[in-house]
Amino acid sequence: MKFYSTADAGFEAAFAALLNEARETAESVDQAVGAIIADVRARGDAAVLDYTKRFDRLELTARTLRVSTAEIDAAVAEIPAELMAALDLAAERIEVFHRAQMPTDLRMTDSAGLTLGMRWGALDAVGLYVPGGKAAYPSSVLMNALPARVAGVGRIAMCVPTPDGVLNPLVLAAARRAGVSEIYRIGGAQAVAALAWGTASIAPVDRIVGPGNAYVAEAKRQVFGRVGIDNIAGPSEVLLLADADNDPRLVAMDLLAQAEHDEAAQSILITDDPGFADAVAAAVTAEIPLLPRAAIAGASWDAHGAIILVRNWDEAVALSDLIAPEHLQIMTRDPEALFARIRHAGAAFLGAFCPEAVGDYVAGPNHVLPTGRTARFASGLSVFDFLKRTTWVAADQASLARVGPAAVALAEAEGLQAHGRSIALRLGKN
């Protein structure tokens, strides 16, 4: 863990190094991914089946690529009632929040008499990538699929790798609850390629969303343009702004909740009290050995964790905007007032009783968020990722007469005579 103080002479250089710290994998996979995508485009199902056998140790046929309704029924039957109730509660809250986001169409008549509008419409089909094996997250299924369903997407196809044929029952239950249309037991770059380009068994989609490893991220990068994507997600991160009125152990657990995701995850605390900073650091050290994922959380905290001591909260606000964190927790006497001054964060959690972890599951807003400082220009997943806008214009002879001459003049200035004449002829000019 690194400790910084804004009062130190070398703080600016040290903080810049923290911001520029590389936490992504150094592995170069672009050529390997490109070869897989080309193979899937050329051979379709056969390539997907070959890669699944090679990487997931699972031999499938075109008929068994898709998870059957009977398999989903059996998986759902295994889930304890209490856990299913928790899944339903999460789904309901996520759905309600995203339904409130739905925009309305625009229609207006301007001073020239033209009628102008903007119409919202859902995508036809989306593909959802869900990690498999050890990293099986039913909550991510809900967070990715429910906004698409709320937006009105007609077809939601999901790909989930099943190493050695193992399917996570709760992932299948979440998919059914969220309205996923079809589920395929494939993963990796080959799944992304199949969703983007289509095969005999898997129809292509219009947008691909969902997290994955370096190969999945690179595949999404390479198919962008053929289809839309949500983002290229990096390691998870959290920034806590906390004063000394908080329990150091609670703050420590909030830091470790991110650290246990991945060795490359990052947890940062900013505080104005040196004694509190020391107490939190000690609490983190004490809690790590007690975690089942102690090795992962410990590696993350040791390599990427940081505590920053500020002289005042003005400094904290400025640093927060430079970090532009994926998750921002504010645990101060007036968290809303402090949040009002902060411009860049993927999602914010306000108050001592609102840990970021509640946002991962049941708060309602989406947990698919911009990482790696991209909250400066990007936003979390929402219904808008599954909608597109179409603008429209209606004009009559009178309204065209009011604005048309200016359009003709501009078209002629640009050397596009046919443009100008298409308007001028309607204005009665040769």
Residue 301 within any structural domain of the chain:
yes
Strands 207-209 and 237-242: unpaired
Residue 381 within any structural domain of the chain:
no
Strand partners of residue 126? 156, 207
Mean pLDDT of 36-53: 98
Residue 116 within any structural domain of the chain:
no
Cβ proximity of 147 and 383 under 8 Å: yes
Cβ proximity of 310 and 338 under 8 Å: no
Residue 315 phi/psi, 5° resolution? Answer: -65, -40
* Choice among 218, 263, 326, 356 that is catalytic: 326
Are 260 and 316 in a shared domain? yes
Is a pLDDT exceeding 70 seen at residue 397? yes
Q: List the one residue out of 22, 20, 32, 47 whose CA is nearest residue 218.
A: 32
Are 93 and 75 in a shared domain? yes
Task: Label residue 25 by pLDDT band (50, 70, 90).
Answer: low
Task: Label residue 131 by pLDDT band (50, 70, 90).
Answer: confident
326 is known as an active-site residue? yes
Residue 388 within any structural domain of the chain:
no
Are 74 and 51 in a shared domain? yes
Is a pLDDT exceeding 70 seen at residue 153? yes
Task: Label residue 170 by pLDDT band (50, 70, 90).
Answer: very high
> What are the structure tokens assigned to 321, written together?
């905007």
Cα(126)–Cα(154) distance, integer angstroms: 9
Cβ proximity of 256 and 284 under 8 Å: yes
Is a pLDDT exceeding 80 seen at residue 78? yes
Mean pLDDT of 230-247: 94
Final residue in a domain of this structure, among 200, 229, 258: 229
Task: Label residue 134 by pLDDT band (50, 70, 90).
Answer: low
Are 277 and 418 in a shared domain? no
Mean pLDDT of 3-13: 96
pLDDT value at position 240? 98
> What are the structure tokens assigned to 179, written together?
């309205």
Cβ proximity of 96 and 185 under 8 Å: no
Is a pLDDT exceeding 80 seen at residue 162? yes
Are 281 and 202 in a shared domain? no
Q: What is the pTM of this model?
A: 0.93
Lowest-confidence range among 77-81, 136-140, 332-336? 136-140
Final residue in a domain of this structure, among 166, 200, 229: 229
Alpha carbon 380 to chain centroid, angstroms: 5
Is a pLDDT exceeding 70 seen at residue 258? yes
Residue 106 within any structural domain of the chain:
no
Are 187 and 298 in a shared domain? no
Task: Label residue 27 by pLDDT band (50, 70, 90).
Answer: low
Domain coverage including residue 283: 2-23+234-363
Mean pLDDT of 109-135: 92
Final residue in a domain of this structure, among 340, 363, 386: 363
Cβ proximity of 163 and 133 under 8 Å: yes
* Choice among 261, 327, 344, 367 that is catalytic: 327
pLDDT value at position 26? 54
Is a pLDDT exceeding 80 seen at residue 122? yes
Are 155 and 91 in a shared domain? yes
Are 187 and 76 in a shared domain? yes
Mean pLDDT of 171-182: 96
- Number of helical H runs and strand E runs in the chain: 17, 14
Cα(246)–Cα(30) distance, integer angstroms: 46
> What are the structure tokens assigned to 48, written together?
């997907």
Residue 347 within any structural domain of the chain:
yes
Q: Which residue has the tokens 């609670």?
A: 250
Q: What is the 3-state secondary structure (H, E, C) of 61-110?
A: CHHHCECCHHHHHHHHHHCCHHHHHHHHHHHHHHHHHHHCCCCCCEEEEC
**Average pLDDT across the chain, whole number:** 95
Cα(118)–Cα(390) distance, integer angstroms: 6
Mean pLDDT of 181-189: 96
242: number of CA atoms within 13 Å, CB side?
A: 32
Are 189 and 307 in a shared domain? no
Are 85 and 159 in a shared domain? yes
The answer to whether the Cα torsion of 356, 359, 360, 365 is positive or negative is negative
Residue 111 within any structural domain of the chain:
no
Is a pLDDT exceeding 60 seen at residue 414? yes
Is a pLDDT exceeding 70 seen at residue 34? yes
Q: How many CB atoms within 10 Å of residue 362?
A: 17
Is a pLDDT exceeding 60 seen at residue 415? yes
pLDDT value at position 23? 78
pLDDT value at position 233? 83
Are 176 and 270 in a shared domain? no
> What are the structure tokens assigned to 41, written together?
């485009």
327 is known as an active-site residue? yes
Residue 299 within any structural domain of the chain:
yes
pLDDT more than 90, % of the chain: 93
Task: Label residue 203 by pLDDT band (50, 70, 90).
Answer: very high
Contacts of 70 (CB under 8 A, 6+ apart): none
> What are the structure tokens assigned to 51, written together?
């890669």
DSSP state, residue 386? G
Task: Label residue 346 by pLDDT band (50, 70, 90).
Answer: very high
Strands 387-394 and 115-122: antiparallel
pLDDT value at position 133? 62
Cα(130)–Cα(140) distance, integer angstroms: 7
Count of domains observed in the chain: 3
Strands 327-331 and 237-242: parallel
Are 268 and 350 in a shared domain? yes
Contacts of 143 (CB under 8 A, 6+ apart): 94, 366, 367, 368, 381
